[in-house]
């Protein structure tokens, strides 16, 4: 107990429909499909004693007293999704949280969401701790180790496991961790809290304009905001490059700093070298202290 708020260890299942934005635009029956998908999810969760405590867009957040129950709920729901006509990605993680009324709060819920986000439609992903609990449970579930990945907005990387089942697909593209995409973004030591609207605003501007400048007094968090926005944009670019100019004293050396970051250092014409490396593919440069 902390400040009268009960703490408990729970396993969380978070889900999302892959490609839902496009389907909402193209399918006149999307609303009915989403309702059917919610009904399937709720039934699967309820059947194993779980609890759906939140819905977010086209997905749910459900809590379970055991990792095994969460996995079996996920499998049961995935087996029904082909008949619904939607591809749903699912993420599972276990940890200690606070329960406030009908809500659960804590880092484990966020980590389950991030694990879900790196998956693909039809895929069930587990954190390492949830996988350990499932492997040693009374009814072991077959798992495949997908390796360790950096997840968006989380400090520590996560070893990710995929649930295997004879009636579910086994082959999926590589999970969408930060390391999946070509980038040299610095690892962040803490989560970016309370600036989601700022990140969304920057992302919107980057999608509209070729150059976006973040200005403000020193220490206000321009670099952190830029790095987080770039991390959220990784899937839209062939490469994302972080160019640090704090140690560059002469404006004439800026092009050389960019070229070195791109792997074209010591060139006679660094600006031309950088341009040659950047042309032909969509690239994003985060030029810090510009």
Q: Are 202 and 214 in contact (CB under 8 A)?
A: yes
Same domain, 135 and 40: yes
Q: Which of 162, 179, 196 is the last residue of a domain?
A: 179
Give the contacts of 127 (CB within 8 A, at least 6 positions apart).
Answer: 92, 93, 94, 111, 112, 115, 158, 159, 160, 161
Same domain, 259 and 174: no
User: Where do runs of H (alpha helix) occur along the chain?
Assistant: 20-26, 30-47, 67-84, 107-117, 128-135, 196-208, 222-232, 254-261, 270-278
Local structure of residue 27 (DSSP, 8 states): -
Q: How far apart are CA 194 and CA 175, in angstroms?
A: 27
**Could you give the number of structural domains in the chain?**
2
CATH number for the domain including 23? 3.30.70.1230
Give a yes or no: residue 1 inside a domain. Answer: no
Same domain, 63 and 96: yes
- Please give the chain's pLDDT, 290 residues, in tens: 455 667 899 999 999 998 887 788 888 999 999 999 999 999 999 999 999 999 988 899 999 999 999 999 999 999 999 999 999 999 999 999 998 888 898 889 989 998 998 888 999 999 999 999 998 767 778 999 988 877 766 557 788 999 999 999 988 877 776 665 667 788 766 667 778 889 889 999 999 999 999 999 988 889 999 998 988 888 788 788 899 998 888 888 888 888 888 877 656 787 787 888 787 778 899 999 88
Among residues 26, 29, 66, the alpha carbon closest in space to that of 45 is found at 66
CB atoms within 10 A of CB 148: 13
Q: Are 133 and 66 in contact (CB under 8 A)?
A: yes
Same domain, 35 and 150: yes
Q: How far apart are CA 133 and CA 34, in angstroms?
A: 31
Domain carrying residue 101: 7-179
pLDDT tens digits, one per residue of 110-143: 899 989 988 889 999 999 999 999 987 677 789 9
- Site of tokens 């593919």: 281
At 204, is the secondary structure helix, strand, or coil? helix
Same domain, 39 and 157: yes
Give a yes or no: residue 114 inside a domain. Answer: yes
Q: How far apart are CA 204 and CA 197, in angstroms?
A: 10
Q: How far apart are CA 117 and CA 169, in angstroms?
A: 18
Give the contacts of 157 (CB within 8 A, at least 6 positions apart).
Answer: 148, 149, 150, 151
- 249 burial (CB, 10 Å; 0-12 / 13-18 / 19+) is exposed
Q: How far apart are CA 123 and CA 142, in angstroms?
A: 14
On whether the pTM is more than 0.85, the answer is: no
């Amino acid at each position: 107990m902390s400040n009268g708020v009960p703490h408990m260890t729970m396993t969380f299942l978070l889900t999302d429909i892959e490609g839902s934005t496009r389907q909402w635009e193209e399918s006149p029956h999307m609303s009915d499909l989403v309702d059917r998908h919610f009904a399937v999810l709720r039934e699967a969760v309820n059947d194993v004693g779980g609890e759906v405590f939140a819905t977010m867009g086209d997905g749910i957040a459900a809590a379970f007293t055991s990792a095994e129950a969460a996995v079996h709920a996920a499998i049961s729901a995935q087996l029904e999704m082909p008949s619904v006509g939607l591809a749903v990605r699912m993420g599972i993680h276990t940890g200690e949280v606070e329960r406030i009324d009908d809500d659960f709060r804590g880092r484990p819920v966020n980590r389950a969401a991030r694990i879900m986000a790196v998956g693909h439609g039809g895929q069930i992903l587990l954190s390492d701790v949830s996988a350990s609990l499932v492997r040693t449970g009374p009814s072991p579930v077959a798992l495949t180790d997908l390796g360790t990945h950096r997840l968006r907005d989380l400090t520590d990387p996560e070893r990710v496991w995929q649930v295997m089942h004879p009636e579910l697909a086994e082959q999926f593209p590589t999970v969408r961790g930060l390391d999946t995409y070509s980038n040299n973004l610095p690892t962040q030591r803490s989560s970016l809290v309370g600036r989601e609207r700022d990140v969304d605003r920057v992302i919107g501007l980057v999608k509209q304009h070729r150059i976006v400048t973040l200005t403000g007094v020193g220490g206000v968090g321009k670099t952190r905001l830029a790095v987080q926005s770039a991390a959220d944009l990784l899937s839209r670019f062939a490469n994302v490059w972080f160019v640090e100019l704090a140690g560059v004293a002469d404006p004439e050396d800026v092009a050389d700093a960019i070229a070195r970051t791109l792997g074209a250092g010591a060139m006679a014409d660094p600006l031309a070298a950088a341009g040659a490396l950047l042309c032909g593919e969509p690239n994003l440069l985060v030029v810090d202290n510009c």
